[in-house]
Chains A and B, each alone.
Chain A
């Protein structure tokens, strides 16, 4: 990792010298793809190596995860993709997945003789961009290059999406961006909108400008000024106030600087002491995971408890961030801390106090990632762009840590998301009195929820405000994550289609909303970014997070009305998707519904988008509720689909559901939802 901050110049490990540029690949591609294969079984290792060589890839094999990690670290840009076994004696494959996702943001493919659904799901949640069942056939290996391309594309897209309004558009060079997604993020946020979200983004921007939401985008220049100021003061002595003075940037608040500084510190720590931190991080990471793991898979309830009780050291953060937050409850505290914590976590330097929070956040963030990743497969234009976050987030993912290295981390976050979802619920709950408490829980699962919650906390002075923030965040999160998720989660999605669908839907919805909210989302996005950071795109996330944080802090007053609508749905979806099932879904839908109705009442700025979404929501709500009964993933998907009213998604979702849930079908009361006929 380069010492430079994420914003700028941190080339991602995935950029390969052999071929660059997001969309342009050398003619010989995929030949020459640099693959790292990790498997403790010597027979499989040799066979894989031969097969990969037969595909004309450049293969490096190793039989120990530790060796693999050190290889990856020594040679940051030396590999394009990692293939790892799940069961290894020295380190769990998913853990490796997470690590790779966190550190290098590479796409990671998991493989195992174990084809049990749970294991595969784990791969998805940890961010793996794909999961191969042994015996691996050469045909399966022939196409692994797609994950690399997809990831880069997503990274690039994310950058575009996150373009800052204030900073102006940066050059849109997908190639460059791909090389260092994090740095590019800043620049490209505004500049390129390749995805179909572009229009929405534009809308968002317009809306945001009208709304005049001060969104701080930590552009490369701004960050450089920041770094210069910090260096001048001395990293130990650098306090936000002084940094602010030195930077002398109009419109920048102390809170903005404070949150950015926090991230920066984590980032530095991560760079300097990756291995040690890594282990500590891992520990912390693992612990929450351990705690959340079972929970996330089962129900967010435990997470909630944890979240509430926990681990929210964020309180301090919250205080720092959101002056307006009056809430001392865990809920309020949670969102904020979550964001920060996530950031912290993503840098792999969890501060002691944040460690817990981070972990939690991590879990929450995961859901987000998860969701995001999923959408990629989902399709819709937006989703398409998003798809593929795979790895690292995934990476960390790639594996369940896997989302590629990047996506995997995100995926891993799934577990985390749960906690997040929890938090989100909390905040949501606080905001919306009508929301059933139960809803909160499901939401937790979603990473987004976490993000949203964070929002609430920060900007939430009053209920409405908080909610708005929440919404805004959600939307931003959603929209943003979409982009990111694609990177991260994208990978995982292929494995688990259902979740993807949900994401997609949510994404779509959010995206629209986000557009109006964009500003707010910008802030939020950063939080999402944080997750990204965790997973694969470290630099990106960092940046984003900052933005998000800033946003939250400064935007309390600018409730994103529009977002509100979005968030509920997002939250709902989020929680929904992350949660594997049951009761929560129900709650979520209820929540979504409530939110939606609430939203409508508020009358959002993004009328068009909102209305559309709202109406979808409203219409879908009743139906959705039904879906929820089926507390399975598929129902979740349905839920999401409903919210977003995306016909495609819906049908896809429905189809999935149908495919996935036999029992669910009979329960579907909603007429409108015939599999092929989703009323949107």
Chain B
């Protein structure tokens, strides 16, 4: 595929992510922060996010697995996840976290488990999508092109 086409595909793909609400304006901010001095900024941050969030999800699962669930603790983890997902622009993950916090407040284990599932799902989804996105970017860079500055034109 030639460079122009790849770039077009990337733009299209990125747009779709925003449209579907998988990513939000915050992600755009991150992209705009990236510059020559730090060309891998977004990838780095996102990797950091996934690393951290996976740990959090495990902690949450473990906490919910206890005999007597410590909802405060679960809530603290979810809150953290909410903050970090919001910071990277993973909108759906963040929204799922919001719902999760409500379940925590209700101290409903079943509800929490369901919410956890939901969060995990969204988390997995955005992870895959971003991996695809980064791969596309890499291909463009490898082909000698540059990744166009992100723009929210929709």
Contacts and interface: CB of A to CB of B under 8 A. Distances in A.
Interface string B105-141: 0000000000000000000000000000000000000
A43 B41 contact: no
A42 B76 contact: no
A100 B61 CA distance: 36
Interface string A86-101: 0101000000000000
Contacts of B44: 46
B84 A87 contact: no
Contacts of B30: 47
Contact of A138 (B29, B45, B76, B83): B29
Given A47-B30, A47-B45, A51-B33, A134 B76 contact: no
A89 B56 CA distance: 13
Interface string A39-53: 011111011001100
Given A41-B80, A50-B38, A87-B76, A134 B52 contact: no
Contacts of A51: 29, 33
Nearest to A85: B83
Interface in A25-66: 40-44, 46-47, 50-51, 54
Given A41-B84, A43-B87, A114 B52 contact: no
A353 interface: no
B52 A42 contact: yes
Nearest to A47: B87
A135 B79 contact: no
B33 A44 contact: no
Contacts of B80: 40-41, 87
B48 interface: yes
Interface string B4-43: 0000000000000000000000100110010000100100
Interface in B65-81: 76, 79-80
A44 B83 contact: yes
Nearest to A89: B76
B82 interface: yes
Given A47-B87, A134-B83, A134-B87, A41 B52 contact: yes
A41 B83 contact: yes
A241 interface: no
Contact of B87 (A40, A114, A136): A136
The prevalent SS among residues of B at the interface is helix
A85 B52 CA distance: 17
Contacts of A44: 83-84, 87
Given A113-B83, A135-B87, A135-B89, A43 B45 contact: yes
Contacts of B79: 87, 113-114
A237 interface: no
Contact of A113 (B48, B52, B82, B88): B82
A43 B30 CA distance: 12
B29 A113 contact: no
A45 to B, nearest CB: 9
A134 B33 CA distance: 17
A212 interface: no
A114 B48 CA distance: 22
Interface residues of A, number: 21
A552 interface: no
Interface string B81-112: 01110111100000000000000000000000
Nearest to B32: A138
B86 A134 contact: yes
A112 interface: yes
Contacts of B76: 87, 89
A23 B54 CA distance: 48
Given A87-B79, A113-B79, A114-B79, A54 B87 contact: no
B87 A138 contact: no
Contacts of B82: 113
Nearest to B88: A43
Contacts, number: 61
Nearest to A138: B29
Tell which of B53, B80, B86, B88 has the most Cβ of chain A within 10 Å. Answer: B80
Contacts of A43: 45, 48-49, 52-53, 84, 87-88
B83 to A, nearest CB: 4
A578 B84 CA distance: 34
Given A114-B79, A137-B26, A46 B45 contact: yes
Nearest to B46: A43
Contacts of A134: 83, 86-87
A333 B41 CA distance: 61
A113 B83 CA distance: 5
B60 to A, nearest CB: 15
A443 B80 CA distance: 38
Given A43-B88, A113-B82, A134-B83, A54 B33 contact: yes
Tell which of B33, B53, B87 has the most Cβ of chain A within 10 Å. Answer: B87
Interface in A439-493: none
B33 A50 contact: yes
A209 B19 CA distance: 71
B86 A47 contact: no
A113 to B, nearest CB: 4
A134 B94 CA distance: 11
Interface string A644-668: 0000000000000000000000000
Contact of B29 (A46, A112, A114, A137): A137
A464 B52 CA distance: 64
Contacts of A138: 29, 33
A136 to B, nearest CB: 7
Contacts of A42: 48, 52
A43 B45 CA distance: 6
Contacts of A47: 30, 33, 45, 87-88
Contacts of A54: 33
Contact of A135 (B26, B33, B52): B26
A355 B61 CA distance: 43
A251 to B, nearest CB: 58
A50 B41 CA distance: 9
27 contacts: A41-B52, A41-B80, A41-B83, A41-B84, A41-B87, A43-B45, A43-B52, A43-B88, A44-B84, A46-B45, A47-B30, A47-B45, A50-B38, A50-B45, A85-B83, A87-B80, A113-B79, A113-B82, A113-B83, A113-B86, A114-B79, A134-B87, A135-B29, A135-B83, A135-B88, A135-B89, A136-B87
Interface of B: 26, 29-30, 33, 38, 41, 44-45, 48-49, 52-53, 76, 79-80, 82-84, 86-89
Given A47-B30, A137-B26, 6 more contacts: A50-B45, A113-B79, A113-B86, A134-B86, A134-B87, A135-B29
* 10 interchain residue pairs of minimum CB distance: A113-B83, A135-B86, A43-B84, A43-B49, A135-B26, A135-B87, A44-B87, A134-B83, A113-B82, A41-B84
